[in-house]
Structure 1
């Protein structure tokens, strides 16, 4: 059986055309080198070298074999680089789920940065409801989720990517449009459009508890799964909503976003299963933190 070392012996002899110098370069003695070359020729069924007392020359078959083995060694070196990249998380596959609302905050920046830093990673992004994201991580159908912090983090690792204030979104002609900052007590009696608790418990609870802390019991008119749909329905005059500040990036002409007094803050986190050993997770988390830090700085200066 031909081994990689036999090809290395052959290529060294082909480059030196001298058994003594080739043996010296290979750190072996000349007789074993001669035997290995003879065995290689026997295995191939062709003569690779013309030998005489004065010189060694490649045959036509030897010249062709030298060219082709160069391709073999180049492929082997590439295979080593690929294996090292995969071990370091710089190559491979990564499945990431994200909430649609983060498409208006950190997900685009994270995706751009990671794709630029690690072009050899096949990154699959899927928009998913918060309800399903933690389950997808636990089941292993996704490697990482970008979401609000799950209630049950057992078996999971999390890192905060982004914090943003909540803001109130008002429809056209609303009585509070003239105010620069909205006191939550002024929202008493309003019809709220809110995400159902079973879909996004962290977001639902922040909104509900904020109102209760200021003496307001939200009058829930509509429960809607997606934040962008909530903002659209506010624009249609179906109620008001408290949403993450990044939803301002929808830039709807029919809605107005106003800051809240003592506004609550919602966290967006990266979540992954603690026993998921995909090395691309570590590189993704590091890149995501870098992109999120930049997004936070831009938010503060906006």
Structure 2
């Protein structure tokens, strides 16, 4: 009968491709490890390692088995986290991913309020670019994220926290810097700095559609992964950009932010994997929505 220790032995050998090093990592001697792997291969009826060469290699069957055991260990880790969390989500562990722009508005408040309300939850936060955050939420490397809604939500669930308009960020000496608001059409001849589509498809497409609605396709001369970098580069006079309103909090002396007439709105949501049953997700999502409501004028 295959036991969890057999899978641990197999995965350690597969990752080191060396029985001696694997035995050291497992704190056992090499002969018992070799026998356990042989017994596992007999139980499975397939050879997992090719030992015919100087360095061992995974066979085709071994590669498939390694991939499938990855899912087993992922499920085990999820089970361990969920056991440590109560059914109400008041204790346990929660891995939170966030995109950088939320650090300028909602993230600090949510973090403070959630930590105060649920001190027994071990919350770990990691900054991401949106597309990688969505991928890691799907793979359950991250429990929950605060981010733009991904294009493909088939495996994800979400709760919208807020929607914010895009606005124009211009160099301080730009010809439109003195205006109260501007139309995107007035930027048709300007060079644009943009986030790549592969990093944040929702925002990229929103900008493209808004510009095309005003009769032009933006001439993108520079792409960078972070909104903060975009604003800094605008301040250096390398172009103009359309960014979420939250980026105004940067307060750079080299840039000005101008409301866009008929500005498109970008939604920011709490996102999680539908199959992730960590109860802390619910309490975190509820806290995010509640905190945003308190942050609005008149609700202090």
Normalising by structure 2, report the TM-score. 0.70
Q: CA deviation at 1:250?
A: 0.4
Partner residue in 2 for 1:92: 92
Any idea what the Cα deviations from partners look like across 1:103-133, whole Å, max 9, x if unmatched? Answer: 1121111111111110110000000111101
- The answer on whether the counterparts of 2:85 and 2:279 sit within 8 Å (CA) in structure 1 is no
Trace 1:1-302 onto structure 2 (pairs within 5 A).
Answer: 86-295=86-295, 297-298=296-297
**SS where residue 86 of structure 2 aligns?**
helix
Distance 1:250 1:269 in 2: 22
Bigger Cα Rg: 1
Distance 2:254 2:126 in 1: 29
- The answer on whether the counterparts of 2:172 and 2:255 sit within 8 Å (CA) in structure 1 is yes
Normalising by structure 1, report the TM-score. 0.70
Give unpaired runs (5+ residues) of structure 1: 1-82
Distance 1:92 1:145 in 2: 17
Q: CA deviation at 1:85?
A: 6.9
Give unpaired runs (5+ residues) of structure 2: 1-82
- The answer on whether the counterparts of 1:85 and 1:91 sit within 8 Å (CA) in structure 2 is yes
**SS where residue 189 of structure 2 aligns?**
coil
Q: CA deviation at 1:291?
A: 1.0
- The answer on whether the counterparts of 1:187 and 1:216 sit within 8 Å (CA) in structure 2 is no
**SS where residue 146 of structure 2 aligns?**
strand
- The answer on whether the counterparts of 2:94 and 2:281 sit within 8 Å (CA) in structure 1 is yes
Any idea what the Cα deviations from partners look like across 1:26-78, whole Å, max 9, x if unmatched? Answer: xxxxxxxxxxxxxxxxxxxxxxxxxxxxxxxxxxxxxxxxxxxxxxxxxxxxx
Task: Report how many residues are paired.
Answer: 217
- The answer on whether the counterparts of 2:84 and 2:93 sit within 8 Å (CA) in structure 1 is no
Q: CA deviation at 1:84?
A: 10
What's the C-alpha RMSD, in Å, of the aligned pairs?
A: 1.5
- The answer on whether the counterparts of 1:104 and 1:249 sit within 8 Å (CA) in structure 2 is yes
Distance 2:99 2:230 in 1: 14
